[in-house]
Amino acid sequence: MWLLSTAWAVPATTPDALAFEEAVARMEAAYKRADGASYTLYKTEYVDGEMTPEQELNVQWRKPKDTVIVYGAAKEGRVVLYKGPDWNDGDMRVDPGRYQPILNLDPRGAVAGMGERYTIHELMLSHAIPTVARDTWKVRDHPEWVGQVKAEGRQPTRGGEADCFHTKSPKHIDPTMYAYETRACFSVATGVPTLLQSWDVEDGELRMIETYEFVDVDLTPDQTDATFEPETYGM
């Protein structure tokens, strides 16, 4: 599964780049204030030579690692619970649904990764936000790196009204960056991403590799310990 480190090109001399930095700073601040979040993630990824069908994931997350994913649509009935390396021998507990047995899976193992681009460690908004911020400040601190950022203005997105930007990165200089191009939209209401799209070189050409849409993001969710217990989900 996901998520997402991201490449961000931020030449600090342009108004668009400065506006992008401000949006990223607001996003980072909102994340640091939050102890948890709930949201619905709609995702499609480039896996095994093609884009996957859209998946719906209903996510509950609590710092530092507690994560519950309840799948909808085609994978309805599937539930994934992960509580960090000190719980369940570091494995995810997975209910595949449809009367299949409960599984305990290494989150980085081959079975857990079938049909997915990222592991549960990289998929969540809780990984995307600090990674976006880290790479933004990395580029800002290297003025010799040539990059581009274009403000696309305020737009409606699936997750509400958002300020959108399209960036091109110096990945050819620093290959640890995620993608050559990225489009990001930040919620006007909360500052967190409502849309992240990335393009990278795969199978010999630049192509879109993922689209993530974050809907109904709540940074002050009504969560208890029971929210993250396997018994709550019949596991």
Neighbours of 153 (CB within 10 A): 9
Which pLDDT value is given to residue 206? 95
Which pLDDT value is given to residue 146? 65
Q: How many CA atoms lie within 13 A of 2 on its CB side?
A: 30
Under a CB-based contact definition with an 8 Å cutoff, are residues 42 and 50 in contact?
no
Which pLDDT value is given to residue 6? 44
Which pLDDT value is given to residue 188? 97
Residue 125 φ/ψ, nearest 5 degrees = -55, -30
Q: Exposed, middle or buried: residue 11 (CB in 10 Å: 0-12, 13-18, 19+)?
A: middle
Q: How many CA atoms lie within 13 A of 131 on its CB side?
A: 20
Cα–Cα distance for residue pair 172/147, rounded to 1 Å: 11
Which pLDDT value is given to residue 148? 84
Q: Exposed, middle or buried: residue 220 (CB in 10 Å: 0-12, 13-18, 19+)?
A: exposed
Which pLDDT value is given to residue 74? 61
Domain 15-233, CATH number (from 3.30.70.141, 3.40.50.460, 3.30.70.980, 2.50.20.20): 2.50.20.20
Reference 82, options 111, 104, 98, 52; nearest CA is: 104
Q: Exposed, middle or buried: residue 82 (CB in 10 Å: 0-12, 13-18, 19+)?
A: buried
pLDDT along the chain (235 residues), means of 10: 40 79 95 94 95 95 94 82 95 90 92 82 83 84 80 97 94 89 96 95 94 96 96 93
